[in-house]
Amino acid sequence: MFNSPHRRFNPLTAEWVLVSPHRAKRPWQGQVEKSLTASLPHYDPTCYLCPRNERAGGVVNPDYRETFVFDNDFAALLPQEEPSNPTESGHPLMIAVSERGICRVVCFSPRHDLTLPELELYQIENVISTWTRESADLASKNFIQYVQVFENKGAAMGCSNPHPHSQLWSQSLIPTEIAKELATQTAYFNEHGRPMLLDYVREEHKRKERILASNDHFTAMVPFWAVWPFEVMVVGHRPAAALSDLNPAEVSALADVFKQVTTRYDNLFEISFPYSMGFHQAPASPAGAPHPEWVLHAHFYPPLLRSATVRKFMVGYEMLAMPQRDITPETAAERLLSLPLVHYKQRS
């Protein structure tokens, strides 16, 4: 079945992906080009994220030594009390509702040149703890329903600055992707009495075809229903609604899995591998509401397909009909697993 066109179901979004493995018979025969990655300085005097430098709004960054958090100077959402244009409902086909929120930026470290896989484990733990602290702070605001932690990495993903950083956007609406995952996980839990993602991880461990990294508390795999060629999902081993539910051992375990996944990513084409990565936490509101259906997880969506310069475009059929992929998730996992766990820059 898996050598001919078929579709796979994503139970988290209740959407299908078309898989066309026969089109990928020759996927890695083409030349693998290495893009020349300019080596970055430890400190860049023109970078608005480096310590001691001035940002766009005129604020000067502190001489920070670990992570650094600030409110986004060009935030997509604002915490305004009184919306200047309240709900517009003159016609049911033209609905606009004002939206409140808070956006923050999190720098991983003072170093302009060190991405996640190049950081020490304790530094990755520190980044996760910063995401946790900031998520909890934003979730505690009465008008916030959801906190999205994400990293846009690389120019290919529209990242505006190579200084390793991530963002938190929090808002008063449960966003589209979260609403889908809440509905599917709730329905599964009501039907089976178990969280969907725990059943899924158990099945992946039985099959051992798509797992990339695993320890006591987290598993990373190319999901059965992956859309992006080298998509990865990192899933916890127990129900957890939010990053703030993790204990110190789980934070270390998560850092370990993140380091393994991002190292393999960089080693694939020996470049700093671009992606959009983000955590899916349960809605933050109503505060304290139990979420036995929710298993904390992260999605990595990398755009590259065949080389450092050949990317997968979500165009044509994908835009107009449904997502499609050529290489199977199993082939992608096999390829990532064949790579060393030592970062290419650290190999002599």
In the complex, minimum distance from the CB of residue 114 to ligand H2U, in angstroms, rounded to a whole number: 16
If binding is defined by CB under 5 A, does position 111 make contact with Zn ion?
A: no
Of 165, 280, 291, 297, the active-site residue reads: 165
Residues 17, 24, 50, 105: which binds ligand H2U (CB under 6 A)? 105
Active site residue 6: no
Q: Which of residues 60-79 bind ligand H2U (CB under 6 A)?
A: 72-74
47 binds, among ligand H2U, Zn ion, none (CB under 5 to 8 A by kind): Zn ion
How many Cβ atoms from other residues are within 10 Å of residue 347's Cβ? 9
Which residue type does 204 have?
E
Question: Given CA atoms 202, 205, 206, 211 in this order, what sign does their dihedral have?
Answer: positive
What are the C-alpha distances in Å from 289 to residues 101, 123, 169, 236, 294? 21, 32, 21, 20, 12
55 binds, among Zn ion, ligand H2U, none (CB under 5 to 8 A by kind): ligand H2U
159 binds, among ligand H2U, Zn ion, none (CB under 5 to 8 A by kind): ligand H2U
Rg (CA), the chain: 21
If binding is defined by CB under 6 A, does position 343 make contact with ligand H2U?
A: no
Residues 112, 165, 264, 299: which binds Zn ion (CB under 5 A)? 112
Q: Which of residues 2-61 bind ligand H2U (CB under 6 A)?
A: 48, 55-56
Binding piece for ligand H2U, criterion CB under 6 A, among 18-26, 155-163, 172-180, 220-228: 155-163
Helices (H), the chain: 121-139, 176-192, 196-207, 248-269, 317-320, 329-337
The strand pairing partners of 220, in sequence order, are: 213, 234
* Secondary structure of residue 91 in the 3-state scheme: strand
Residues 159, 198, 211, 310: which binds ligand H2U (CB under 6 A)? 159
User: CB within 8 A of 330, min separation 6: which ones?
Assistant: 2, 209, 210, 222
**Six token digits for residue 47:** 């970078």
CA distance 266 to 273: 5
Q: Which of residues 20-49 bind Zn ion (CB under 5 A)?
A: 44, 47, 49
CA distance 115 to 108: 8
Residue number, 108 or 294, with CB nearest to Zn ion: 108
If binding is defined by CB under 5 A, does position 163 make contact with Zn ion?
A: yes
In the complex, minimum distance from the CB of residue 60 to Zn ion, in angstroms, rounded to a whole number: 14
If binding is defined by CB under 5 A, does position 105 make contact with Zn ion?
A: no
Task: Point out the residues that are catalytic.
Answer: 165
- Site of interaction with ligand H2U (CB under 6 A): 48, 55-56, 72-74, 105, 152, 159-161, 167
